[in-house]
Structure 1
Amino acid sequence: MEWIQNGGILMYFIVAMSVIGLAVVIDKSIYFASKEKGNFDDIKWNVKEYIEKGDYTGAFALLEKHDCSTYKVLKELLLQCTKNKDYSIVHMEEKAREVGLSQLPRLERGMWLLGIVAHTTPLLGLLGTVTGMIQAFHAIASYGTGDPSVLAEGISKALITTAGGLTVAIPAVIFYNYFNKRIDTVVNNMEKSSVEMINFFRK
């Protein structure tokens, strides 16, 4: 707590940002570990095998075991085929796109907060550096340079806030880019799987 107090009021904002960033990282990690997992290729082939046998119930049961976005799209396509034997490919493509878009808010939840943490904390650290140096120069103007301790408080504040801002920002940037890559992968899986399934029904 001492280094937080020595860093001034901006350190409290940096600490608050770190708490927000950590909460988002934990939430996204749990989500991707529990929801967006599975061997998509194996599942898709198993679903196709069920469909070729006419066992749509088995195909639905297989997809129901998982809650990931890709399986939700495949389940919707399968539902459209079973509800309407005169389905059109265009209609299926639109339904796949609709379900895929509906999954985006869940995938991107909290990412804007992590982005704010990643981009704002370095600026808070820089602001702390500037204010600390202003304080140091003000001390020089008021008391001269004879006593080094006069400069210590301002310089210490400048360095602590800079270090604090970078300590929070660097992991936030790493996780922000990592989760964005995971989201892109999920979106690509949804698109690829839906196209493959539609082409399968097209035959």
Structure 2
Amino acid sequence: MIVLIICSVVTVGYAIERSLYFYRSRSDSRGFMKALAAKMKGGDMKVAGQWCDQQKGAAARVVSQCLPHADIPTSELKQRFDTAIEMEQVEMERNLSVLGTMSNIGPLLGLYGTVVGIIRAFSDIARTGAGGSAVVAMGVSEALLTTAAGIIVAVTASICFNFCVRRIRTRIIELEDVREEFFNVLRGMARQEDRPAARAKADKRDVNALCDAVVTTAQEPAAVGR
């Protein structure tokens, strides 16, 4: 029973720790990306990076690691994003193995305590010679308390474990959306930078075409005079 009490304390402690972690690291990833996109489109990436460093949440931490390297090839930047997301996932999964272990061994420890209690009850009956259904029932009821305690530990740990797993999956999806939105912003900025160059090329072609037309027009009267 002492072991189950220790397990219950450990389970509650880690459940509270993980719940506080997810509560403190919550953030509005969509709102964060909208504000970041506006700052990036402003042209000052340094200011955008400083603003990003001041924000809280997994999305801000991931982008902070990748924003200073926005000018590297896309494949390398994606790899940096994937690495940053994996690091966040490792942090989110910290101590989950303890909760998973408690949810598995809780019933087994309770069953073990029950078996030991029943063995002890029958041993006492055999040693003292006192019997009867009342004596047996008392010993069995005390032994079954360990099973109930083990089930309570397992249920608590299982609920907390599944809650954390669900939150992790949601956070990973949000971080992947942030990654895609980040690259969309970079592509949009690249298109805006390419427009003046494309316009200059078009203007140059128009000027060349106009010069050719003028030259052709000037050459036609000379040809007719001949």
| TM-score, structure 1 as length reference | 0.83
Partner of 1:108: 93
The one-letter code matched in structure 1 to 2:58 is: S
Contact 1:128 1:157 in 2 (8 A): no
Distance in 2, Cα, partners of 1:45 & 1:77: 17
**Contact 1:47–1:59 under 8 Å retained in 2:** yes
> Gaps spanning 5+ residues in structure 2: where?
189-226
In 2, Cα distance between equivalents of 1:95 and 1:101: 10
How many correspondences in the alignment?
A: 187
**Structure with the greater alpha carbon radius of gyration:** 2
Given candidates 9, 14, 26, the residue that maps to 1:24 is 14
Task: Give TM-score, length-normalised by structure 2.
Answer: 0.75
CA distance in 2, matches of 1:193, 1:91: 17
Q: Deviations over 1:48-93 (max 9, x none)?
A: 1111111323322332233322212222221112xxx3x2110110
After the TM superposition, which parts of structure 1 deviate over 6 Å for at least 4 consecutive aligned residues? Answer: none
Q: Is 2:78 the partner of 1:88? A: no
Q: 1:146 to 1:26 in 2, by over 3 A?
A: closer
Cα RMSD after superposing both structures: 2.0
Aligned residue runs from structure 1 range 60-99, under 5 A:
60-81=49-70, 85=71, 87-99=72-84
Gaps of 5+ in 1: 1-10
Letter in 2 for 1:119: N
Amino acid at match of 1:102: M
Amino acid at match of 2:36: V
Structure 1 residues 140, 77: closer, same or farther in 2, change over 3 A?
A: same
The answer to whether residue 132 in structure 2 is matched with residue 146 in structure 1 is yes
Does the 8 Å CA contact 1:121/1:168 hold for their aligned counterparts?
A: yes
The offset of 1:133, in angstroms, is 2.7
Equivalent in the alignment of 2:149: 164
Match of 2:114 in 1: 129
Render the CA deviation track for 1:135-186: whole Å, top value 9, x for unaligned.
Answer: 344455553643622x245313322101111122211111110011111111
**What is the alpha-carbon distance in structure 1 between the residues aligned to residue 133 and residue 57 of structure 2?**
64
CA contact (8 A) 1:118 1:173 kept: yes
What is the percent sequence identity of the aligned residues?
A: 28
Kindly indicate whether structure 1 or structure 2 has the higher relative contact order, using CA contacts under 8 Å at least 6 residues apart.
1
